[in-house]
Amino acid sequence: MQKRKLGNSTLEVSALGLGCMGMSFGYGPAGDKQAMIALIRSAVEKGVTFFDTAEVYGPYTNEDLVGEALAPLRNQVVIATKFGFNLHPDGKPGWAGLNSRPEHIKQAVEGSLKRLQTDVIDLYYQHRVDPEVPIEDVAGAVQDLIREGKVKHFGLSEAGAQTIRRAHAVQPVAALQSEYSLWWRRPEAEIIPTLEELGIGLVPYSPLGKGFLTGKIDENTPLDSTDFRNTLPRFTPEARKANLAVVDLLGRIAQRKNATPAQIALAWLLAQKPWISPIPGTTKPARLEENLGAAALELTPADLSEIESAASQIPIEGARYPEHIEKMTGR
């Protein structure tokens, strides 16, 4: 697996990372713990060095899982986690509002360090921009943690260009994590040029459109009652039916390249910029193998141009999030 530098930072990660959220949270019942630990460790054997979690996933259980899985391999991997929510005191899923106050960040990091069984977090993201706390204060708090040796690099998630610039002026931002894929291309307008200018890496989450771009989901595919995709406008049966046009496009290219739609979707992202490292998630060994195969897949300029011209003709149906969550995207 090739390595990539996230922007101008010294942070080097595998071209493809592993998003661990779905192992504990979000996509139906949590996976079997021992099976998930085995999956994470097999990813390391296959060259993955970049693992993504957050305190809100569970809450807490995903950090526990990642910490236990990677403890024996800690010096081989980069662990990213996130802060920025008030969590329910009874441990129920979800969150009770945003909270990026400096004192809260300094409290949150202690819990994450303990659960991750480590003395330093490689990449510490603000999970969502908190409109109540100036981003300069957030950057300053993480800078303190870097000075104390508890964190190595500062990241933002779903932040807008203005926020990125203000944060970066206080403490250099190593990476921005944002949704980016062939069916969510908004970062191309303003975010990607800003990252390029400032030398910040991009870590696309949901690079396979929350599973949709794999070609394994259509309008009739049942989702578990606890699957958060049930709440997404883009996953209504009507939207799914309309959006299959994107999957058909990926399928056509995949057939020609002797690949799968998922591999084309990931290879397309990797071809956009050399400082992009997507983090597809999975709970299945076969899917992990399939996703990682994308790193060796070369899309020619002609392939990319064909994808571009065909994709630009396909309108995507449905908002990606309900309005109250979409509003949490920073300016």
Express each pLDDT in 212-221 by its tens digit.
999 999 999 9
CATH number for the domain including 255? 3.20.20.100
Q: Could you give the number of structural domains in the chain?
A: 1
Look up residue 138 and give its two tokens: 């957030």
> What local confidence, expressed as pLDDT, does residue 242 receive?
96
| Mode of pairing for the β-strands spanning 3-5 and 12-14 | antiparallel
Judge whether 124 counts as a catalytic residue: no
Determine which of 7-16, 66-75, 84-93 has the lowest per-residue pLDDT on average: 84-93
| pLDDT mean across residues, the chain | 96
Sequence-ordered list of residues with C-beta below 8 angstroms from that of 310, at least 6 positions apart, any chain: 249
Q: What is the mean pLDDT of residues 192-221?
A: 97
> What local confidence, expressed as pLDDT, does residue 226 receive?
92
> What local confidence, expressed as pLDDT, does residue 290 receive?
98
Judge whether residue 314 has pLDDT over 90: yes
**Whole-structure pTM value:** 0.97
Express each pLDDT in 142-185 by its tens digit.
999 999 999 999 999 999 999 999 999 999 999 999 999 999 99
Express each pLDDT in 119-148 by its tens digit.
999 999 999 999 999 999 999 999 999 999
Judge whether residue 330 has pLDDT over 80: no
How many Cα neighbours within 13 Å face the side chain of 102?
12
Q: What is the mean pLDDT of residues 217-230?
A: 95
Q: Is residue 99 part of a domain?
A: yes
Judge whether residue 95 has pLDDT over 80: yes
Q: Is residue 182 part of a domain?
A: yes
Domain that holds residue 19: 3-326
Determine which of 81-85, 205-209, 320-324 has the lowest per-residue pLDDT on average: 320-324
Contact predicate 225/27, CB 8 Å = no
> What local confidence, expressed as pLDDT, does residue 123 receive?
98
Q: What is the mean pLDDT of residues 53-78?
A: 97
In whole angstroms, what is the distance from residue 217 CA to residue 27 CA? 13
Tokens 């994107």 locate to: 246
Express each pLDDT in 283-308 by its tens digit.
999 999 999 999 999 999 999 999 99
Which of the following is catalytic: 27, 57, 60, 180?
57
Q: Is residue 48 part of a domain?
A: yes
Q: Is residue 174 part of a domain?
A: yes
Q: Is residue 40 part of a domain?
A: yes
Q: Is residue 302 part of a domain?
A: yes
Q: Is residue 331 part of a domain?
A: no
Coil, strand or helix: which one is 5? strand
169-174: long-range contacts (C-beta < 8 A, 24 or more apart)?
169/136, 170/135, 170/136, 170/139, 170/140, 170/143, 171/139, 171/140, 171/142, 171/143, 171/146, 172/8, 172/9, 173/139, 173/198, 173/200, 174/6, 174/7, 174/9, 174/11, 174/123, 174/200, 174/201
Determine which of 47-56, 86-95, 259-268, 305-314 has the lowest per-residue pLDDT on average: 86-95
Q: Is residue 287 part of a domain?
A: yes
- What DSSP string runs through 163-200? HHHHHHHHS-EEEEEEE-BTTB-GGGTTHHHHHHHHTB
